[in-house]
Structure 1
């Protein structure tokens, strides 16, 4: 199957507000496996506040909607500077990428990822890093298929 083509455009303010609500909910659902729900909610809210202090207008962060050939939204992504590298680094960080439920299993994840890579490369970035939750097997498969390799690994164990 050929990868579908997508076009990226910046999120509107309304899309940004909806996106933040969705991201925080998803982060909480992922984190409750390793921490309390209250801690997960605080962590999710803190991450957005830390990395997007000016919302969608935060400098060097790009929040985009991916549209298919007909102009219909099929997903979104958030990319910005790599938080693990010094200011001015040539490394970008993929904070989040999503394919909307109605568009899944049609190659849009690969298409969105490829367009994000092209976007940051045009901005002079030579590396794109990301985190992926170990239980998100679909995302892990997407990243491996797209040439990503494990560079660090965190592990934890619930005690008691």
Structure 2
């Protein structure tokens, strides 16, 4: 697969709304496996309010659209401060490659561009969470050199 070339830019207000809606719907879908859907919706909305209190204008956070070399949007990313407070560490809160562009190398290109962005800002590490059954994302991060730093497991009894 050829290496894709992308450019990151700040999301528009419309893109931010669409990305937030998509991210929240996916998060509710995942959390609803282990809790009532209404509680999952409350938790997800609370997370957005906590981490992005000023939306696109939230200081220290980059809400980005990735464009291919023709200027077409192929995905989004959200990167900001590491919620653990780790010095010189950023956190990848979300990376989404739009459906028609998946499995074509755009995820790796977006990830590499985010890494360049945070390195230019003086960060030396990028952390993230990935849902345990998201094999495609896990493979992407492993190919990118990411290692498991911690693991949470659950069993319904």
TM-score class, shorter: over 0.9
> 5+ residue gaps in structure 2?
none
How many Å separate the matches in 1 of 2:144 and 2:35? Answer: 31
Equivalenced residues, count = 157
Matches within 5 A, 1:20-39: 20-39=20-39
The secondary structure found in structure 2 opposite 1:121 is: helix
Matched, 1:74 2:36: no
Task: Please name the residue that 2:142 is paired with.
Answer: 144
**Could you tell me the TM-score, scaled by structure 1's length?**
0.96
TM-score normalized with structure 2 length? 0.97
Mapping 1:52-131, distance limit 5 Å:
52-86=52-86, 89-131=87-129
CA displacement at 1:19 relative to structure 2: 1.2
Equivalent residue for 1:14? Answer: 14
Unmatched 5+ residue regions in structure 1? none
Runs of 4+ in 1 over 2 A off after TM superposition: none
